[in-house]
Amino acid sequence: MDNRPNPMGRKRPILETVKTMTIIFFALSAIAALYDFALAVRVLIMAIVMLVIYTIMLFSKKHKLDDREKETEES
């Protein structure tokens, strides 16, 4: 693993990135609804898929944290 500092600044967590993309897709869907309903539906579907991915990642992260807490309690 490369432990050198990142010259571009801090590394963004993937969960934060997915959350931001989900919000952007919902906003784009609202804007697209003003112009073309078919486009708005496609973007809304993409936003819903991103929301599902975000919730799955969030729950898996919580599950991993719970497992770590159990390991520390047992030892």
Tens of pLDDT along 20-75? Answer: 888 988 888 888 888 888 888 888 898 899 999 999 988 887 777 676 666 666 65
Domain that holds residue 43: 14-74
Q: What share of the chain is helix, strand, coil (3-state, %, to 5)?
A: 80, 0, 20
Residue 34 CA to chain centroid, in angstroms? 26
Tell me what pLDDT residue 15 has.
84
How far lies 70's CA from each of 16, 26, 43, 60, in Å?
A: 26, 37, 41, 15
The alpha carbons of the chain give a radius of gyration, in whole angstroms, of 18
| 5 domain-assigned | no
Tell me what pLDDT residue 52 has.
93
| Helices and strands (H, E) in the chain, number of each type | 2, 0
| 39 domain-assigned | yes
| 1 domain-assigned | no
Tell me what pLDDT residue 13 has.
80
Residue 5 pLDDT grade (very low, low, confident, very high; cuts 50, 70, 90): low
Number of domains in the chain: 1
| 7 domain-assigned | no
| 30 domain-assigned | yes
Residue 17 pLDDT grade (very low, low, confident, very high; cuts 50, 70, 90): confident
